[in-house]
């Protein structure tokens, strides 16, 4: 289009006072207005595209929210957009709607919410054209040229190119180095890279392709048959595939929840739609990915923090374009655009990992439910130990409650046994009864799993002479001893230092590690069972990429006799040969200031116990405790999780705690110990004047860890039996915070529906 025409269009747009509403990725709770770019057809400016805009002294990638008329601002104050980065919207109307809802509900800046929905490469303004769309093509100059025998690979490539263009993915699959020959052909002007023509297409909404999906693996003798409860669950959700409905699938460990997921995904794929499956931990993705790939021949992508940024971007774009049919992802994957949405599934829905604890503090579980409603597709929340919030929603009719009460196949529920370790001589935290059972399990050729949710060698280092304790200088926490690396490390701020030889207080050389961590127990097991093959799985042993997958393969293949680990092993894994589970420290979660501690302890016990006896051989679960008659343990072991949850909900109702009330937690921190308290006191006074009686204001009080990474922390809790007054008060306070002078010196945040009062 001639420049004169562009100028005419721009002049017309400005004459009509058209402005672009843009969200920028900064902590500012509003959008910003810009002029349309001078050299762009206004018809290309559709909500959901990325645009480059000037902001302050820098240029940044913004997200177009809409086009409106400017009736109040001085046109001279508006800046023009620098560049339009996308030909077609990357976000559909439904995608933008859920982001706008999340910004309002969590009271978080709109630009940062939109940025969260994009992979890093797209946030940086990189092209949305993926490598899968690049093909190597022949140029007109190559037609009459030939290559000597000294360049056989160039000649081979040239021969291929004379027949057809070669996709990059096909070149990448070659066993020899093709990059040098390709570069040589391009330098000679005989070849060039081009896009395959699969440009970004408008987001599809046609769901009428039922029965026309790519081939799936047929259900045969290798696929387990469904029992009656599984059939009922699959049937109930399948009937709702044409619209929104929320389901809670409560299935005991080993009951075949994953098989229900697979059958539902199969039904969705046969309708030509896509499935999103969310998991709480990266550690669960390899096993589930292998299972899905073995059952389906469609394109499947994964999205989690264990991938590099290029891999995450390719997965995101594959789902957005409809090139992939199944997405397996963790918390951040919930915002991935879907070209043909069919179902959203959350496994282990109770897990706190679905809640983002920094920055944009969203709950992937709650966002998934709202997103399914927005997309008019069903959402399935699965767990052996559902959260009390989800159980409450099922009882109130918001969710349909589905149950899998028995284990699938020939496996049976494990047997629980409490081991009273009072007045017993423990060997590095291992009781004689547990040691004996491990020996018997080894003799039978079966595997044992020991659980201790405390990594490192010991929780602290103490001086036996004077009582000095190694503490973090930046946090109100003790340094954890890591014997393998001879380091002392803070698990909260990351500070670490060399292992001390002498006590800094009394100068004696009698420093001793106190307590047990997984490293210490591993050493004890190696001494007690020298012939056993022992494997420790925790964050320290799985730092390298791919290490966890390799470790899990060793367990599955039977190379490991004793498996020792932390919470990474507590859920979702299927270890067919594990028949003994030992929980070394049950008491840690029985006494806590957090009202959710009992719920989490019960969930953890049931989830860890569920790893035992998942095949024909029966399982045994040993719980080491100094509180064998604690009411939580007695009810959980004798009557099961459902009975515990019923009692816990009754207690919450009487106490006026979630899910019968709604909470918002204000956090404030600063280098100065007084500033956070002062700011929250101002909010407390303002809240009391604004909503007397409707919202309960608790605090301000110091955070349970009052000092973290050198900053002093305070909290203010708002609680109400109704959401509307609570959110109204939060928005009122957010709008007035900039008026307080302490705001510029204090880092603050508001957490809607907090799951941790840390």
215 pLDDT higher than 60? no
Same domain, 240 and 376: yes
pLDDT band at 105 (very low <50, low <70, confident <90, very high): very high
Mean pLDDT of 525-530: 93
Lowest mean per-residue pLDDT among 34-48, 265-279, 690-704? 34-48
Residue 112 and residue 89 in one domain: yes
> Are 285 and 396 within one domain?
yes
CA–CA dist 510, 503 (Å, integer):
7
Contact call for residues 183 and 215 (beta carbons, < 8 A): no
Name the β-bridge partners of 750.
666
Tokens describing residue 488 = 């002392």
What span, in angstroms and rounded, lies between the C-alpha atoms of 355 and 366? 9
Which carries the bigger pLDDT value, residue 192 or residue 140? 192
Q: Is 425 exposed, middle or buried (0-12, 13-18, 19+ CB in 10 A)?
A: exposed
pLDDT of residue 208: 36
Q: Is the pLDDT of residue 210 over 50?
A: no
Q: What is the pLDDT of residue 551?
A: 85
pLDDT at residue 554 greater than cutoff 70? yes
Q: Are residues 579 and 598 in the same domain?
A: yes
pLDDT at 130: 59
Strands 534-537 and 415-420: unpaired
Lowest pLDDT segment from 34-43, 397-406, 741-750 = 34-43
Q: Kindly tell me the burial class for residue 454, based on how many C-beta atoms sit within 10 Å of its own C-beta (0-12, 13-18, 19 or more).
A: buried
- pLDDT of 38: 66
Helix axes 432-443, 518-528, angle to 10 degrees: 60
pLDDT per residue as tens digits for the range 615-637: 677 889 999 999 888 889 899 98
Asked if residue 676 is part of any domain, the answer here is yes
Tell me what pLDDT residue 582 has.
92
Domain end residue (candidates: 382, 404, 426): 404
Domain endpoint, select from 514, 533, 555: 514
The C-alpha atoms of residue 359 and residue 27 are separated, in whole angstroms, by 10
Question: What pLDDT does 148 receive?
Answer: 60
CB burial class (10 A; 0-12, 13-18, 19+) of residue 589?
buried
Rg for the chain (alpha carbons), in Å? 29
First vs last C-alpha separation in the chain = 59
Give the DSSP H or E segment for 529.
Answer: none
Task: Compute the distance between CA of residue 716 and CA of residue 505 in angstroms, rounded to an integer.
Answer: 38
pLDDT: which is higher, 244 or 545:
244
Query: Is residue 379 included in any domain, yes or no?
Result: yes
Characterise 50 by phi-psi region: left (phi > 0), alpha (psi -120 to 50), beta (else). beta
Residue 298 pLDDT: 86
- Order of strands across the sheet with 274-278? 300-303, 326-329, 274-278, 341-347, 379-383, 246-251, 400-404
With helix as H, strand as E and coil as C, how does 725-754 read? Answer: HHHHHHHHHHHHHHHCHHHHCCEEEEEECC
265 — phi, psi (to 5°)?
-60, -40
* Nearest residue to 386 via CA among 283, 252, 507: 252
Whether the per-residue pLDDT at 96 is higher than 80: the answer is yes
Residue scoring higher pLDDT (283 or 474): 474
Tell me: pLDDT of 150 over 90.
no
pLDDT higher than 80, residue 408:
no
Given this model, what pLDDT does residue 196 score?
61
- Per the domain annotation, does 707 fall within a domain? yes
Q: What percent of the chain has pLDDT over 90?
A: 46
pLDDT band per the 50, 70, 90 thresholds, residue 248:
very high
pLDDT of 414 higher than 70? yes
Compute the distance between CA of residue 749 and CA of residue 667 in angstroms, rounded to an integer.
Answer: 5
Distances (CA, A) of 175 to 159, 170, 179, 191: 18, 11, 12, 21
Residue 154's alpha-carbon distances to 168, 173, 180, 640, in angstroms, are: 16, 17, 9, 68
pLDDT band at 39 (very low <50, low <70, confident <90, very high): low
Query: For residue 75, what is the domain's CATH number?
Result: 3.40.1440.60
Residues 6+ apart with CB under 8 A from 568: 281, 283, 537, 538, 539, 542, 548
pLDDT digits (tens, 9 = 90+) for 173-186: 776 788 788 888 87
Cα–Cα distance, 641 to 632 (Å, whole number): 10
Edge to edge, the sheet with strand 747-752 lists: 696-708, 711-720, 662-670, 747-752
Average per-residue pLDDT for the chain: 85
Instruction: Kindly state whether residue 123 falls inside one of the protein's structural domains.
Output: no
| pLDDT for 342 beyond 70 | yes
User: 153 and 180 share a domain?
Assistant: yes
CA distance 63 to 713: 34
| Domain membership flag for residue 215 | no
pLDDT digits (tens, 9 = 90+) for 287-302: 788 889 889 988 899 9
- As beta bridge partners, residue 278 has 329, 346
Average pLDDT on 109-113 reads 94
Sheet holding 166-167, edge to edge: 166-167, 134-138, 191-195
Q: Which H or E element spans position 621?
A: strand 620-625
- For residue 53, whether the previous peptide bond is cis, meaning omega lies within 30 degrees of 0, is no
User: φ, ψ for residue 66 (rounded to 5)?
Assistant: 175, 175
Window from 18-22, 407-411, 436-440, 567-571 with minimum mean pLDDT:
407-411
pLDDT at 334 over 70: yes
The answer to whether residues 292 and 328 touch, using CB atoms and an 8 Å cutoff, is: yes
Q: Collect all residues with Cβ–Cβ distance below 8 Å to 601 and sequence separation of at least 6.
A: 586, 588, 589, 590, 632
User: Are 98 and 155 in a shared domain?
Assistant: no
Q: How confident is the model at residue 206 (pLDDT cuts 50, 70, 90)?
A: very low
- Range of 339's domain? 228-404
pLDDT above 70 for 40: no
Which residues 6+ apart lie within 8 Å of 252 measured at CB? 384, 404, 405, 406, 407, 413, 610
Cα separation of 381 and 406, whole Å? 18
| E strand map for 98-241 | 134-138, 166-167, 191-195
Separation of alpha carbons 455 and 125, rounded Å: 40
What is the pLDDT at residue 165?
78
Q: Decide if 200 contacts 88 (C-beta within 8 A).
A: yes
CA-to-CA dists, residue 521 to 29, 452, 538, 708, angstroms? 50, 9, 13, 29
Q: What is the pLDDT of residue 202?
A: 33
Dist. CA 359–CA 303, nearest whole Å: 20
What phi-psi label fits residue 389: left (phi over 0), alpha (psi between -120 and 50 degrees) or beta? alpha
At 211 the pLDDT is: 37
Read off the pLDDT of each residue in 729-753 and give the average, rounded to a whole number.
Answer: 89
Domain of 639, CATH number, reads 3.40.50.300
- Could you tell me the strand order of the sheet in which 487-489 lies? 480-482, 487-489, 496-498
Q: Is the pLDDT of residue 16 over 60?
A: no
Tokens of 631: 């009411």
Backbone phi, psi, residue 707, to 5°: -135, 125
Q: Are residues 44 and 191 in the same domain?
A: no
Q: Using 50, 70 and 90 to split pLDDT, how confident is the model at 131? A: low
Largest Cα span, the chain:
91
Q: What angle do CA 688, 689, 690 make, to 5 degrees?
A: 95
**Domain shared by 539 and 618, yes or no:** yes
Residue 181's region, left for phi above 0, alpha for psi from -120 to 50, else beta, is alpha
Domain count of the chain? 6
Reported confidence tier of residue 612, pLDDT bands at 50, 70, 90: confident
Q: What is the pLDDT of residue 648?
A: 94
Residues 446, 475, single domain; the answer is no
* 541 domain-assigned: yes
- Per the CB < 8 A criterion, the answer to whether 581 and 416 are in contact is no
With respect to residue 142, please indicate whether it lies within any of the assigned structural domains.
yes
Q: Rounded to an integer, what distance in angstroms lies between the CA atom of residue 433 and that of residue 13?
A: 81
Query: Does residue 481 share a domain with residue 442?
Result: no
Structure tokens at 391: 């159980």
Query: What would the mean pLDDT of 533-539 be, rounded to a whole number?
Result: 89
What is the per-residue DSSP string for 59-112? Answer: EEEEEEEEEEE-SSS-GGG-EE--EE--SS-SS-HHHHHHHHHHHHHTT--HHH
In what helix (H) or strand (E) does residue 177 lie, and over which residues does it extend? none
pLDDT of 42: 67
Give me the percent of the chain exceeding a pLDDT of 70. Answer: 89
Are residues 520 and 580 part of one domain?
Answer: yes
Residue 220 domain-assigned (yes or no) = no
Q: How far apart are CA 482 and CA 497, in angstroms?
A: 10
Is the model more confident about 31 or about 274? Answer: 274
Token code pair at residue 188: 């000679």
Band of pLDDT at residue 450, cut at 50, 70 and 90? very high
Q: Which of 95-99, 121-125, 412-416, 448-452 has the lowest mean pLDDT?
A: 412-416
**667 shares its domain with 645:** no
Residue 480 has pLDDT above 50, yes or no: yes
Q: What is the pLDDT of residue 411?
A: 66
pLDDT digits (tens, 9 = 90+) for 255-282: 889 999 999 999 999 999 999 999 998 7
Sheet with 79-80, strands from edge to edge, namely 79-80, 32-35, 18-23, 58-69, 50-55, 83-84
Q: How far is CA 689 from CA 645, 682, 684, 692, 700, in A?
A: 38, 11, 9, 6, 16
């Amino acid at each position: 289009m001639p420049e004169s025409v562009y100028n005419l269009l721009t002049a017309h747009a400005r004459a009509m006072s058209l402005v672009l509403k843009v969200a920028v990725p900064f902590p500012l709770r509003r959008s910003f207005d810009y002029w349309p770019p001078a050299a762009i057809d206004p018809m290309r400016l559709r909500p959901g595209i990325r645009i480059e805009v000037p902001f302050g002294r820098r240029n940044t990638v913004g997200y177009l929210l809409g086009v409106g008329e400017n009736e109040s601002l001085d046109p001279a104050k508006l800046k023009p957009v620098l560049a339009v980065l996308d030909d077609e919207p990357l976000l559909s109307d439904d995608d933008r709607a859920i982001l706008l809802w999340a910004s309002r509900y969590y009271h978080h800046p709109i630009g940062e919410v939109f940025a969260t929905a994009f992979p890093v490469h797209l946030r940086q303004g990189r092209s949305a054209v993926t490598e899968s769309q690049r093909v190597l093509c022949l140029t007109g100059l190559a037609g009459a040229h030939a290559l000597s025998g000294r360049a056989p690979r160039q000649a081979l490539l040239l021969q291929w190119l004379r027949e057809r263009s070669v996709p990059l993915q096909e070149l990448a699959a070659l066993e020899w180095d093709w990059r040098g020959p390709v570069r040589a052909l391009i330098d000679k002007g005989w070849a060039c890279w081009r896009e395959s023509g699969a440009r970004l297409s408008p987001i599809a909404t046609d769901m009428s392709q039922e029965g026309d999906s790519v081939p799936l693996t047929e259900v045969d003798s290798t696929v387990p048959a469904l029992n009656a409860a599984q059939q009922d669950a699959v049937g109930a959700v399948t009937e709702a595939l044409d619209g929104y409905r929320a389901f809670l699938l409560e299935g005991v460990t080993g009951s075949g929840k994953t098989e229900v997921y697979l059958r539902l995904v199969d039904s969705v794929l046969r309708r030509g739609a896509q499935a999103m499956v969310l998991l709480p931990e990266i550690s669960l993705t390899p096993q589930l990915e292998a299972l899905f790939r073995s059952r389906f021949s469609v394109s499947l992508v994964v999205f989690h923090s264990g991938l590099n940024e290029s891999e995450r971007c390719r997965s995101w774009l594959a789902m957005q374009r409809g090139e992939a049919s199944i997405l397996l992802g963790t918390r951040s994957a919930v915002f991935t655009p879907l070209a043909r949405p069919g179902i959203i599934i959350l496994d282990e829905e109770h897990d706190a990992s679905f809640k983002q604890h920094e920055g944009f503090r969203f709950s992937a579980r709650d966002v998934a439910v709202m997103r399914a409603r927005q997309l008019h597709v069903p959402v399935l929340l699965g767990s052996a130990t559902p959260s009390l919030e989800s159980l409450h929603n099922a009882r109130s009719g918001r969710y349909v409650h589905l149950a899998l009460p028995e284990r699938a196949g020939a496996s049976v529920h494990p047997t629980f046994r409490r081991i009273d370790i009072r007045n017993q001589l423990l060997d590095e935290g291992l009781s004689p009864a547990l040691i004996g059972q491990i020996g018997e399990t080894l003799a039978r050729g079966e595997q044992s799993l020991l659980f201790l949710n405390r990594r490192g060698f010991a929780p602290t280092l103490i001086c036996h002479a004077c009582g000095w304790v190694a503490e973090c200088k930046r946090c109100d926490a003790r340094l954890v001893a890591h014997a393998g690396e001879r380091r002392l490390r803070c698990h909260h701020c990351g500070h670490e230092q060399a292992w001390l030889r002498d006590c800094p207080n009394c100068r004696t050389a009698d420093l001793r590690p106190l307590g047990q961590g997984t490293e210490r127990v591993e050493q004890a097991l190696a001494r007690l069972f020298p012939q056993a093959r022992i494997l420790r799985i925790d964050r320290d042993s799985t730092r390298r990429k791919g290490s966890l997958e390799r470790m899990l393969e060793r367990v599955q293949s039977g190379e490991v006799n004793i498996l020792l680990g932390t919470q990474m092993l507590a859920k979702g894994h299927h270890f067919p040969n594990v028949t003994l589970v030992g929980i070394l420290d049950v008491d840690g979660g029985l006494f806590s200031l957090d009202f959710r501690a009992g719920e989490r302890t019960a969930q953890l016990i049931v989830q860890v116990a569920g790893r035992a006896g998942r095949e024909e051989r029966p399982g045994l679960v040993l719980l080491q405790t100094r509180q064998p008659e604690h009411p939580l343990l007695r009810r959980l072991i004798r009557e099961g999780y459902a009975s515990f949850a019923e009692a816990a909900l009754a207690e919450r109702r009487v106490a006026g705690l979630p899910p019968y009330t709604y909470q918002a937690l204000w956090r404030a921190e600063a280098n100065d110990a007084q500033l956070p308290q002062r700011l929250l006191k101002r909010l407390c006074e303002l809240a009391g004047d604004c909503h007397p009686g409707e919202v309960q204001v608790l605090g301000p009080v110091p955070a349970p860890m009052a000092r973290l990474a050198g900053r002093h922390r305070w909290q203010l809790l708002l609680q109400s039996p109704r959401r509307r007054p609570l959110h109204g008060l939060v928005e009122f306070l957010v709008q007035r915070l900039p008026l307080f002078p302490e705001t510029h010196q204090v880092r603050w945040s508001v957490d809607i529906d907090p799951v941790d009062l840390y």
